[in-house]
């Protein structure tokens, strides 16, 4: 594997420093800086991106810990406002399982980290392990943007995803809460949910999708039949024809954000056209500069 592509995005090695990341992945007893911290002095991070922990996986890990101990130290920082105590940055599953296994202390690395670093590290660790559900992932990205002023491009760079991936995840948060819950519980996939974004009847359509066990293609066909009710298909500046699938609408939004102008993609089975609408000559000049940059 090419150096620099290990893990995901910048990875923990970039967020913590190479030495710390290697220590965090090494067996107990080998890395320098690992300490045994009493479990009662460790507190969970209220901003932990992962909200759902399966009881079965925690129990299985607890059984392993009883037999072999904790093989990988957790990452902590001094707990804000609690001198002598600690807050989890990464490793909540191991911490929960260690409690269930009856451990009184567990191996840990302690680092001074600010709130932004804590959230970024927690997101990267969970995304690397594929532990986050799509709604949890989207909420994590939103937290980085709202609390720390990150742009979608910066969030994408941190977690090693494309900017359209981040944008598509964030769009899921525009769905009604009941639909987000169906998504979080695994009743709907991200593909189902993307097709419902912006639709005024998203809740009833989601229930129909679940009841009829529709796949994503069937869902898109169902949504297209109700296309006039889709908010995002209603005419905007330049006009958007009805009947576009969720991926085309997402791509239009991505291009519009990059160019700063309304974009209309008209696809006819693999051929078509892209229309970009400008209102002033200054906008046209700026568009030309963007399109010819590096040419």
pLDDT in tens, 92-138: 888 989 999 999 999 999 998 988 888 888 887 777 665 678 888 88
pLDDT at position 103: 93
Instruction: Give the CA-trace dihedral at 142, 144, 146, 147, to 10 degrees.
Output: 140
What is the mean predicted confidence (pLDDT) over 191-220? 90
Listed residue (169, 158, 164, 154) closest to 8, CA to CA: 158
What is the mean predicted confidence (pLDDT) over 80-98? 90
Of the listed ranges 56-70, 128-142, 231-245, the least confidently predicted one is 231-245
Top pLDDT among 262 and 188 is at 188
CB 124 within 8 A of CB 159: yes
CB 171 within 8 A of CB 197: yes
What is the mean predicted confidence (pLDDT) over 150-154? 86
Q: What are phi and psi of 215, to 5 degrees?
A: -85, 180
pLDDT at position 130: 58
Max avg pLDDT among 3-7, 13-17, 95-99:
95-99
Max avg pLDDT among 45-54, 128-137, 141-150, 268-277:
141-150
Distance CA 272, CA 90 (A): 47
Binned at pLDDT 50, 70 and 90, residue 5 comes out as very low
Top pLDDT among 47 and 114 is at 114
pLDDT at position 279: 67
What is the mean predicted confidence (pLDDT) over 49-67? 82
Top pLDDT among 271 and 175 is at 175
**What is the second-level CATH architecture of the domain 11-114?**
Alpha-Beta Complex (3.90)
What is the mean predicted confidence (pLDDT) over 62-88? 90
Task: Return the structure tokens found at 138.
Answer: 């989207």
| CATH 3.90.1530.30 domain span(s) along the chain | 11-114
What is the mean predicted confidence (pLDDT) over 83-87? 93
CB 123 within 8 A of CB 155: no
Question: Residue 237: is its pLDDT beyond 70?
Answer: no
Computed over its alpha carbons, how large is the radius of gyration of the chain? 23
Alpha helices per DSSP H over the chain: 11-16, 18-25, 55-68, 92-100, 115-128, 134-148, 152-159, 163-171, 177-184, 190-196, 202-212, 216-225, 246-259, 281-292
Top pLDDT among 128 and 251 is at 251
pLDDT at position 7: 39
- Which residues are part of the catalytic machinery? 92
Q: Give the 3-state secondary structure percentages of the chain, helix then strand then coil, rounded to 5.
A: 55, 10, 35
Top pLDDT among 265 and 26 is at 265
Q: Which residues contact 6 (CB under 8 A, 6 or more apart)?
A: 13
């Amino acid at each position: 594997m090419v150096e620099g592509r290990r893990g995901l995005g910048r990875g923990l090695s970039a967020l913590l420093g190479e030495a710390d990341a290697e220590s965090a992945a090494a067996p107990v007893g080998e890395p320098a800086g690992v300490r045994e911290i009493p479990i009662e002095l460790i507190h969970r991070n209220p901003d932990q991106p992962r909200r759902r922990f399966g009881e079965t996986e925690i129990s299985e890990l607890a059984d392993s810990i009883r037999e072999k101990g904790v093989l990988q130290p957790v990452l902590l920082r001094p707990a804000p406002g609690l001198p002598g105590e600690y807050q989890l940055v990464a490793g909540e599953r191991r911490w929960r399982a260690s409690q269930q296994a009856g451990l009184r202390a567990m191996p840990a690395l302690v680092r001074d980290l600010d709130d932004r670093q804590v959230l970024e590290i927690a997101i990267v660790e969970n995304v690397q392990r594929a532990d986050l559900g799509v709604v949890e992932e989207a909420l994590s990205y939103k937290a980085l943007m709202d609390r720390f002023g990150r742009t979608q491009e910066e969030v994408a760079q941190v977690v090693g995803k494309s900017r359209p991936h981040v944008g598509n995840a964030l769009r899921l948060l525009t769905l009604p809460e009941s639909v987000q819950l169906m998504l979080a519980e695994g009743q709907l996939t991200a593909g189902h949910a993307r097709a419902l974004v912006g639709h005024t009847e998203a809740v009833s359509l989601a229930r129909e999708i679940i009841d009829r066990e529709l796949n994503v293609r069937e869902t898109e066909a169902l949504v297209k039949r109700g296309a006039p009710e889709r908010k995002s298909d209603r005419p905007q500046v330049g006009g958007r024809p009805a009947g576009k699938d969720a991926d085309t609408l997402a791509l239009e939004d991505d291009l519009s954000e990059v160019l700063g102008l309304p974009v209309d993609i008209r696809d006819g089975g693999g051929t078509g056209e892209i229309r970009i609408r400008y209102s002033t000559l200054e906008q046209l000049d700026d568009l030309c500069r963007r399109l010819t940059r590096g040419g």
